[in-house]
Amino acid sequence: MKRRNAIGLGTAGIAAAGAGFAAGRFWPATSEAAALDPNAEAIAFYGAHQAGILTPAQDRLHFAAFEVITADRDELIALLQAWTVAAARMCGGDYAGPGGAAGGDYYAPPDDTGEAQGLPASGLTLTIGFGPTLFTDADGVDRFGIADRLPEALRELPPFALDALDPAVSGGDLCVQACANDPQVAVHAIRNLARIGFGTVSQRWSQLGFGRTSSTSTAQSTPRNLMGFKDGTANLKAEDGDLLEKHLWVGADDGADWLTGGSYLVTRRIRMRVETWDRTTLAEQEEIFGRDKSEGAPLGATGEFDEPDFEAEADGVPVIAAKAHIRLAHPTMNGDARMLRRGYSFVDGSDNLGRLDAGLFFIAYQRDPEAGFIPVQRSLSENDVLNEYIEHTSSAIFACPPGVRDEDDWWGRALFT
């Protein structure tokens, strides 16, 4: 069995981060269980770009935002190194200790909380992002000696019309997006990273999601959101070639060398007034989106992937309404703005009026938020008829660094070295 070590981290580094993984411990590249299980679905952790962006959207999400509670730069670096080791192990579906699962060996506390024992990798991806507040605090103080590396584009998002944001569940110094096809695997991953970070970071807010509301590959069918419409039809997709360099990945000339090959992440928790929506007619719902509900075709067309004809009229009235969601969000309306949407549905119980606290946890990746999310959201927040049925309750922006190249690399190395 091939063995690898913990990317050469010294005991001091891991201990400083409060890591639960004993330094010097050797882990198998994949556990016996994962290697034997054809459904293991392990997704490569190492690569030029972080997994979890272009990866075909998995079915489940656990997204967490953290605050860094240490003022010690070395402790933060040690945490990022320890997180990288743990993330690589978990994404490989490796919950077994040195003896491997076949030998009945599993990591025991405090090295792992244990609830993923015996489960395959389940397509787990872990994607890290750095928020603007990691660089400078509210008083402009350079927290970790990286203020001069704050990218121009990593600014707090501007206020938008109708924002109803709760600051307690917005922002964050760090984020980790865990996506998997098994909710337990995603939850386990975030829980273990939080455990490793104890004393260095504290969890600020988190969000569970299900039923991906987007497809990020042409190989995937388009799922439906909680309003019952196909969502993700006109999304950027893995097969989009040059468009990805233009609209998704930060380029070498974009002014932040450490972020080349990374991407900006915007999250918005958007509550849906589903009970009100459910009382509207089919015709009204279709007019609001500008697509038919069953097939997902633009109004006036027949196929889901037909191009919308925004010029078409019937009896002097635009077939796709002037304020239809797909017209307002279309690249031609927003200076060719494009992003890769990767959101999830959520249902967080009910409120005290008996209404579902449900909606869309919107996630979008882009090369530059000023040329992606911001103009589109400005257009939608001011004009979209959908606003009668939704409310944005949380917002955050992060810069996601490029991928971890190999076992000597770690999340954020280019930023801190």
Q: Judged by CB under 6 A, does residue 248 bind ligand HEM?
A: no
Minimum CB separation of residue 342 from ligand HEM in Å reads 11
Of 232, 261, 369, 403, the one binding ligand HEM (CB under 6 A) is 232
Site for ligand HEM in 351-370 (CB under 6 A): 359-360, 362
From 22-30, 54-62, 99-107, 373-381, span contacting ligand HEM (CB under 6 A): 373-381
3-state DSSP of the chain: CCEECCCCCCHHHHHHCCCCCCCCCCEECCCHHHHHCCCCCCCCCCCCCCCCCCCCCCCEEEEEEEEECCCCHHHHHHHHHHHHHHHHHHHCCCCCCCCCHHHCCCCCCCCCCCCCCCCCCCCCEEEEEECHHHCECCCCCECCCCHHHCCCCCCCCCCCCCCCCCHHHCCCCEEEEEEECCHHHHHHHHHHHHHHCECCEEEEEEEEEEEECCCCCCCCCCCECCCCCECCCCCCCCCCCHHHHHHCCCCCCCCCHHHCCCEEEEEEEEEECHHHHCCCCHHHHHHHHCECCCCCCECCCCCCCCCCCCCCEECCEECCCCCCHHHHHCHHHCCCCCCEECCEEEEEEECCCCCEEEEEEEEEEECCHHHCHHHHHHHHHHHCHHHHHEEEEEEEEEEECCCCCCCCCCCCHHHHC
Of 229, 344, 398, 410, the one binding ligand HEM (CB under 6 A) is 229
User: x/- binding map, residues 188-227, to ligand HEM, per CB under 6 A?
Assistant: -------------------------------------x-x
From 36-44, 117-125, 264-272, 277-285, span contacting ligand HEM (CB under 6 A): 264-272
Minimum CB separation of residue 245 from ligand HEM in Å reads 19
Q: Which amino acid is at 323?
A: K
Provide the Cα torsion 257, 258, 260, 261; round to 10°.
170
Q: Judged by CB under 6 A, does residue 265 bind ligand HEM?
A: no
Q: Judged by CB under 6 A, does residue 182 bind ligand HEM?
A: no
Total residues interacting with ligand HEM, rule: CB under 6 A: 27
- Using the minimum distance from each CB to ligand HEM, give the nearer residue, 338 or 413: 338
Of 59, 231, 240, 368, the one binding ligand HEM (CB under 6 A) is 231
Minimum CB separation of residue 212 from ligand HEM in Å reads 12
Of 234, 256, 320, 340, the one binding ligand HEM (CB under 6 A) is 234
- Using the minimum distance from each CB to ligand HEM, give the nearer residue, 147 or 385: 385
Minimum CB separation of residue 357 from ligand HEM in Å reads 14
Q: Judged by CB under 6 A, does residue 375 bind ligand HEM?
A: no
Site for ligand HEM in 293-352 (CB under 6 A): 325-326, 329-331
User: x/- binding map, residues 38-57, to ligand HEM, per CB under 6 A?
Assistant: --------------------
Of 269, 291, 342, 367, the one binding ligand HEM (CB under 6 A) is 291
Name the residues that contact ligand HEM, by CB under 6 A.
Answer: 225, 227, 229-235, 268, 270, 272, 289, 291, 325-326, 329-331, 359-360, 362, 373, 376-377, 380, 390
